[in-house]
Structure 1
Amino acid sequence: MYKFLTAILLIFLFTNCYAQEYTHFSSWNRIVVQKKINNHWEFVGDVHIRRQNDFLSSSMSPFSLKLMEGYRFATFYKYHNLTFSFAPFFLHTYPLYGKVKDLSSVARSELRPSFFTEWSKNLSDKWNFRSRFGYEYRIFKRVDDTWGDEQGRVRLRLQMRYNWNGNNTIFVSEEPLYNIPPHLPANSFSQNQLYFAYNHNFSPHFTTEVGYMWNHRQRASLVEFDEENILQTHFIFKL
């Protein structure tokens, strides 16, 4: 028993001695246009602009450097408490800069068809619970301008919403993301996203959302982690 506990302690110390964490401050900004066709069908188009701080300076401004630009068009079908969606996503991502070596990493273009199923349940007049499961098929643009190096990723979001009144909602969500084949990278765990947000309806046609996300990422080295502090802003226009 003594030898077993000693071995566990040594493994713990070895892992933590070589683990490296990088702290980031970033902003994820999204402009959304929604069009509801009927009680079942809805179309959504959005533009994503993400920025990050410059780790070489003392500034924690989340707007200093590029992080991602993306465009997505999603189709939603609602049936009772279930919502099914298909969302092709084109994005151009830059590395999260945590060390000097990251500066030599190149930006990558990615095509990401995504499929989601969400279940919603009203617990009371004020409380609503949502559970969303999704699959992302990620296709990357190579340096020779061809597309490939496909990867799969699954994600599960659990969300609790409180409807303060007809125009104000606050909510919290938890969402782990895991890499799966094809071409599974060294890290099967991808990210864990914990999100707190406030949503306000200015009118039936315009809604804003602002929130804070803590995003824990594991790099392919398995001993390097990115701790991302994210300011999120969404501007939603309903046609």
Structure 2
Amino acid sequence: MKHTALTALLLLLFITAMGQSQSNSWLRLSVEMPLAPKLNSVIEWQSRAQGFENGGLITSPLLHSVRPWLNYKIQENTTLSLSPIAYYYLYPVTISPKDQSKPAQQEWRTTVAVEQRWPLTQRFSLQSRTGLEFRNFSRQQDVIRVRQKFGMDYCLSPQVHVLAYDEVMANLYAGSFFEQNRLGAGVSFQLNKALGVETGYLYINRALPFYQGLLNQHVLYINIRLRFFRRFSAATGGGETLR
């Protein structure tokens, strides 16, 4: 059993080392609005850019998207999330300059996810997020994808958190079974009650249908969060916006 695990680990390291590298930058803006004491809505705008293989400048678009969420807090540390429909405009991954001539495509995506949190100490907690996505493409076969994310959160102060996580994505219908693995670390800053920023780095091993082996992507990301507040009446659930 030990020899099998060691062989699998060495094989994964070999495949990763043999893969080519690409640089990305990701930007996301999220606006959150509470709807009820346990229910909120979020709208996300994303823009991602990419460089060519092996350290090229980040000059080509990768995707633009808009995605709404409804988040329901089932228990203190358990949240159910639903994105009924999201729109993505996807550009081809640019392994070489000739890939820029390939056509872009559109994607309509429906997602359901469950997120759990396990506080271990006053400052340190573990997190898990399990998601299922139904992806409808304009130029390729539709895909059903499952996502499993495990992470940790260390609270340096009420305004600053250090984050680390690993997320695996696999296709259950169409495409290769293994799609990608994301290993990430970042820092989250709560600048005031309404504004938060998270920035960090992702290392991604990604399988592509037209590419031999795995593509290694180095990603710098920034997530900006805007949050509106409402005071809810205990009797009616109504409320007023807090300024």
Q: TM-score, normalised by structure 1?
A: 0.83
Counterpart of 1:103 in 2: which secondary structure? Answer: helix
Displacement after TM superposition at 1:199 (Å)? 0.3
User: Structure 1 60/223 Cα, relative in aligned 2: closer, same or farther at 3 Å?
Assistant: closer
Q: How many Å separate the matches in 2 of 1:168 and 1:99?
A: 39
Q: Which residue in the other structure is 2:241 paired with?
A: none
* Residue-pair matches, total: 214
Query: Does the CA contact (< 8 Å) of 1:30 and 1:49 recur in 2?
Result: yes
Q: Which residue of 2 aligns with 1:26?
A: 24
Give the AA of the match of 2:35: I
- AA of the residue aligned to 1:180: L
Q: Distance in 2 between matches of 1:51 and 1:168?
A: 27
Corresponding position of 1:37 = 35
Question: How much is the aligned-residue C-alpha RMSD, in angstroms?
Answer: 2.2
Whether the 8 Å CA contact 2:166–2:181 is kept in 1: the answer is yes
State the one-letter code of the partner of 1:82: T
**1:1-239 correspondence to structure 2 within 5 Å:** 21-55=19-53, 60-62=56-58, 64-80=59-75, 81-87=77-83, 88-142=85-139, 149-181=141-173, 184-185=174-175, 187-221=176-210, 223-239=212-228
1:39 deviates by 3.2
Kindly provide the amino acid, as one letter, of the partner of residue 86 in structure 1. Answer: L
| Residue aligned with 1:68, SS | strand
Offset from partner CA, 1:102-159 (integer Å, 9 cap, x none): 33432110001001011111111101111110000000114xxxxx832100010001
Q: For 2:88 and 2:204, how far apart are their aligned partners in 1?
A: 19
What's 1:3 paired with? none
Contact 2:25–2:49 (CA under 8 A) maintained in structure 1? yes
Query: Can you give the 5+ residue segments of structure 2 that lack an aligned partner in the other structure?
Result: 1-6, 229-243
Are the equivalent residues in 2 in contact too, given 1:26–1:50 (CA < 8 A)? yes
Distance 2:98 2:50 in 1: 17
Question: 2:103 is matched by which residue type in structure 1?
Answer: V
Per the alignment, in what secondary structure is the counterpart of residue 160 of structure 1? strand
Alpha-carbon distance in structure 2 between the residues aligned to 1:76 and 1:202: 23
CA distance in structure 2 between the aligned counterparts of 1:106 and 1:225, rounded to whole angstroms: 22
Shift, 1:60, TM fit: 3.9
Mark the CA change 1:225 to 1:34 in structure 2 (over 3 Å): closer, same or farther.
Answer: same
TM-score of the pair, normalised by structure 2: 0.82
Deviation at 1:59, TM superposition (A): 6.5
Query: How big is each residue's C-alpha offset from its partner over 1:19-71, in whole Å with a ceiling of 9 and x where there is no partner?
Result: 9622111111001101123331010001000011144xx97433x11000000
Q: Percent identity?
A: 22
